[in-house]
């Protein structure tokens, strides 16, 4: 039976995989943004940077959980005709609920992949995000700012690095990588509008096994590119739909197993609290049209984007930023809880 603890299981299994340098670099190699002309040492160094970034997301970031029912609900939003026609996407500052973390989807989110998978699809399992930073000063050799992800000390944060984690599509991949593997590495700069076709696919490895892309025919290469763009559209819309829903919810802490802290302390790894977010249910109103709620506490509402009508006759819609604020009766205590979140209905 699905539960928020499935997100912790993913955290433990995949975190241990990434923690091992050799095995973790095999995963990082799939999505590391290599480019032509890089030396073997530079490629190894970049793969190690990606491995550490992914490991930081899984082991040190906040953990969020989306139930199977809610995953189906979000997928319905993603595949609505209006969203299928939308190509442009952007990530605004504050859209994701934490600086570093991941969200685990406890339900099938099929993304096309007929080249490597007999079923023709790969299911999205989780989305990881890390800080995307630039040097404040350009590098002398290139004249451009250096690109980093992770520690933002003395660097300018310009967005998020987003990783998608999918099910391994075939027995060979499962033997090499385990049940899950990365598929996308996306440097999402805040406020920049872009679409999947704008991605430099020469930087996207995407290999299920080393060298397999070199054996593809021109027809298969084109088909793989189209499917990769469609999978990225699904990924971006899932992130967008989830962020819009979770910004409006009140988190409730979910108890973690009693032995969990002991295991994490023994390994020297940080434990994670589980925080469940339930979708609000509609309540039948009395004849007066008023519903009296006896709130027991006050709570914080995270900063979020909201559509608001503006202009003459309020005929236009514009997204505005709503700052973090406190809701609830002024005479009630303020409740603040840690953040590993489940989204449920």
Residue-level pLDDT at 151: 56
- Residue 107 vs residue 292, higher pLDDT: 107
- Model confidence pLDDT, tens digit, residues 153-175: 667 888 999 999 999 988 888 88
Query: Averaged over 8-13, what is the pLDDT?
Result: 90
User: Is residue 342 scored above 80 in pLDDT?
Assistant: no
Range 168-203 burial, b when 16+ CB lie within 10 A, else e: bbeeebeeebbebbbbbbbbbeeeeebebeebeeee
Which helix (DSSP H) or strand (DSSP E) does residue 12 occupy?
helix 5-19
Which helix (DSSP H) or strand (DSSP E) does residue 68 occupy?
helix 68-78
DSSP string, 319-334: EEEEPPEEES-TTSPB
- Model confidence pLDDT, tens digit, residues 43-68: 899 899 999 999 999 998 888 888 88
Of 34-43, 58-67, 94-103, 151-160, minimum mean pLDDT range:
151-160
User: Is residue 251 scored above 70 in pLDDT?
Assistant: no
Contact 56, 18 (CB under 8 A): no
User: Is residue 92 scored above 70 in pLDDT?
Assistant: yes
- Residues of the chain with pLDDT > 90, as a percent, come to 23
- Residue 210 vs residue 1, higher pLDDT: 1
Work out the mean pLDDT of the chain and round it to a whole number.
Answer: 78
User: Is residue 17 scored above 50 in pLDDT?
Assistant: yes
Of 254, 270, 282, 236, the C-alpha closest to 343 is 254
Pairing of strands 274-278, 251-254: antiparallel
Query: Averaged over 202-220, what is the pLDDT?
Result: 55
User: Is residue 179 scored above 70 in pLDDT?
Assistant: yes
Query: Averaged over 117-127, what is the pLDDT?
Result: 90
Of 139-153, 172-186, 289-303, minimum mean pLDDT range:
139-153
pTM of the model: 0.74
Please provide residue 103's backbone torsions phi and psi, each rounded to the nearest 5 degrees. -120, 135
User: Is residue 138 scored above 70 in pLDDT?
Assistant: no
- Bridge partner list, 319: 307
User: Is residue 339 scored above 60 in pLDDT?
Assistant: yes
- Residue 309 vs residue 282, higher pLDDT: 309
User: Is residue 71 scored above 60 in pLDDT?
Assistant: yes
User: Is residue 209 scored above 50 in pLDDT?
Assistant: no
Q: Show me where the domains of the chain are located.
A: 5-246
Contact 34, 306 (CB under 8 A): no
User: Is residue 276 scored above 70 in pLDDT?
Assistant: no
């Amino acid at each position: 039976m699905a539960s928020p603890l499935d997100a912790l299981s993913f955290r433990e299994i995949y975190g241990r995989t990434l923690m091992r340098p050799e095995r973790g670099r095999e995963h990082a190699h799939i999505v590391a943004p290599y480019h032509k002309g890089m030396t073997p040492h530079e490629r190894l160094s970049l793969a190690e940077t990606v491995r550490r970034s992914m490991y930081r997301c899984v082991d040190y970031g906040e953990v969020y959980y989306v139930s199977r029912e809610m995953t189906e609900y979000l997928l319905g939003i993603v595949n609505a005709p209006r969203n299928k026609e939308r190509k442009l996407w952007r990530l605004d500052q504050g859209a994701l609920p934490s600086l570093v973390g991941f969200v685990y989807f406890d339900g099938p989110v099929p993304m096309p992949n007929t080249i490597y998978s007999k079923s023709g699809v790969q299911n999205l399992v989780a989305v990881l995000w890390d800080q995307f930073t630039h040097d404040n000063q350009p590098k002398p050799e290139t004249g451009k700012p250096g690109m980093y992800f992770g520690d933002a000390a003395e660097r300018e944060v310009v967005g998020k690095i987003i990783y998608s984690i999918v099910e391994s599509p075939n027995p060979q991949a499962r033997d090499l990588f385990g049940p899950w593997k990365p598929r996308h590495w996306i440097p999402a700069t805040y406020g920049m509008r872009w679409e999947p076709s704008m991605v430099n696919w020469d930087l996207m490895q995407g290999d299920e096994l080393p060298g397999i892309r070199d054996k593809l025919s021109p027809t298969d290469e084109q088909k793989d590119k189209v499917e990769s763009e469609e999978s990225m559209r699904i990924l971006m819309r899932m992130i967008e739909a989830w962020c819009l829903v979770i910004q409006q919810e009140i988190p409730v802490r979910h108890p973690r197993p009693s032995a969990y802290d002991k295991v994490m302390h023994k390994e020297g790894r940080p434990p994670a609290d589980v925080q469940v977010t339930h979708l609000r249910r509609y309540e039948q109103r009395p004849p007066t049209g008023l519903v009296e709620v006896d709130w027991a506490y006050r709570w914080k509402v995270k900063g979020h984007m909201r559509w608001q009508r503006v202009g003459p006759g309020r005929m236009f819609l514009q997204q505005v930023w709503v700052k973090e604020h406190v809701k609830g009766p002024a005479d009630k205590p303020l409740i603040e809880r840690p953040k590993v979140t489940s989204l449920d209905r």
